[in-house]
Amino acid sequence: MGQNDPRRQIPRTDQLLAHPELRHARSRLGDDVIRSTVRDVQEQARRGDLAPGDVEARVLAAVAYRAASSLRPVLNATGVIVHTNLGRAPLSGSARQALLSAAGYVDVEMDLPTGGRSRRGAGARRALLDACPAAEEALVVNNGAAALVLATTALAGAGEVVISRGELVEIGAGFRLPELIESTGARLREVGTTNRTHLADYAAAIGTQTGCLLKVHPSNFRVSGFTSGVGIGQLRSLADEHQVPLVVDLGSGLLAPDPMLPGEPDISGALAAGADVVIASGDKLLGGPQAGLVLGRAEVMARLARHPLARAVRADKLTLAALEATITGEPTPVTAALHADPVRLRERAERLAAATGGRVVQHDGRVGGGGAPGVPLPGWAVQLPEPVARRLRTGDPVVLPRVHGGACLIDLRCVPEADDERLAAAVRAALAHVHDGPRAAGT
């Protein structure tokens, strides 16, 4: 590198690290992260992508906007309440506060009056049992798939799990229920056909190797037409006759019936109908953190709790704290979005349209997350040009709209009303960028 090479003007690493703003940044970012940022910007200047005189400003800007986590908050304007790609259920204020409180030392397994060890997650367990009196016992694991694996492993072992062919579902991202269960060493005994299964099919399959009967709610699809299935009550009689446990996987996590979703089964109803064990997810319609909820009869639940796998899939203190607060605290954002008033949604949409030049159109929201498939949630959206969508997804704040029919649709169902002004500002900025882009390119 010659004496006149402009790269000699690139600030040295020690000079940059000594800058007051970088020293201050160490209170929220690790030293390795800051050094890596400095090296990346210096390398840009060495390649000629950045003027040496701009290195310091670029480093300071990069560090200022860098967070310890790469996850970015998103305003969900899709109308899909339980959006898997956005982390499913947003937590309530109580659950968020519980997370902060549980981030330090907490009595997750300690009885403070005696100083002895206590049952892990006793508060979350008590909250579940109080909210679902039909259950004699409750267990919390790290997600719904883990709950199903634990139940089938503890009850069937290397034996057979009897299940209808019409309930062999794929739960998303390519994970298929048959493969999940068979990974435990259990064998599937499929009965009936895709569209029709009868009680006699189950009865003919039960034998000395049967570990449990499994009924899975097809939460992310519907089969209509020439169909038949076997209800929990009918399976209860068969299970009693052969003395095998009955496991029901509901998925969506309703503790009790919801009038907005009359066809969606709930945990209390499944237990009352005769299920020994009911499995559901905590981060769907319950509106809590990712968790697998297992509720049922004490005798059968004890077999699950004693199994060595229970420790491998147990929930951590943050999940337990957030779950308990979800159940005992105020209504969750999921509940609010599900029961949003269409009239109020239209009023908010009209304000946003007036502020941005958009057009209000009818738009049905959805539960999402495999819950209540095909059930529309009547509402409204603001229609904008399709190119606005990409600018919203890459802006600040990040806004995720729905792109449909060659248009960008902004549904306010899942956007907290307190964020309406932020959303409007983000839309105006995106529109300005889209409108100015072609003119800027032509200059």
Per-residue pLDDT reduced to its tens digit, 117-135 = 999 999 999 999 999 999 9
**Residue-level pLDDT at 216:** 94
**Residue-level pLDDT at 224:** 78
Give the phi and the psi of residue 55 in degrees, each rounded to 5. Answer: -60, -50
**pLDDT level of residue 369 (50, 70, 90 thresholds):** confident
Query: What is 92-329's CATH topology?
Result: Aspartate Aminotransferase; domain 2 (3.40.640)
**Residue-level pLDDT at 360:** 98
Please determine, for residue 187, whether its predicted confidence score (pLDDT) is greater than 90. Answer: yes
Please determine, for residue 382, whether its predicted confidence score (pLDDT) is greater than 50. Answer: yes
CA 199, CA 203: separation in Å to the nearest integer? 6
CA 272, CA 274: separation in Å to the nearest integer? 5
| Residues 266-293, mean pLDDT to the nearest whole number | 97
The tens digit of pLDDT for each residue in 77-102 reads 999 999 999 999 999 999 999 999 99
Please determine, for residue 208, whether its predicted confidence score (pLDDT) is greater than 50. Answer: yes
If you average pLDDT over every residue of the chain, what do you get?
Answer: 92
Provide CB contacts within 8 A for 27, sequence distance 6+: none
**Residue-level pLDDT at 119:** 92
**pLDDT level of residue 441 (50, 70, 90 thresholds):** very low
**Residue-level pLDDT at 173:** 67
Query: What is 74-84+335-442's CATH topology?
Result: Aspartate Aminotransferase, domain 1 (3.90.1150)
**Residue-level pLDDT at 437:** 59
| Residues 421-435, mean pLDDT to the nearest whole number | 94
Domain residue ranges of the chain, discontinuous segments joined by +: 8-65, 74-84+335-442, 92-329
Residue 7, both tokens: 């790269």
Q: Among 413, 404, 414, which Cα is nearest to 383's?
A: 404
Please determine, for residue 176, whether its predicted confidence score (pLDDT) is greater than 90. Answer: no
The tens digit of pLDDT for each residue in 17-59 reads 999 999 999 888 999 999 999 999 999 999 999 999 999 999 9
Please determine, for residue 223, whether its predicted confidence score (pLDDT) is greater than 90. Answer: no
| Residues 219-234, mean pLDDT to the nearest whole number | 85
**Percentage above 70 pLDDT, the chain:** 97
Please determine, for residue 2, whether its predicted confidence score (pLDDT) is greater than 80. Answer: no
Q: Among 234, 170, 171, 148, which Cα is nearest to 197's?
A: 234
**Residue-level pLDDT at 74:** 97
Please determine, for residue 391, whether its predicted confidence score (pLDDT) is greater than 60. Answer: yes
| Residues 264-281, mean pLDDT to the nearest whole number | 96
| Residues 313-327, mean pLDDT to the nearest whole number | 98
The tens digit of pLDDT for each residue in 58-71 reads 999 889 888 888 88
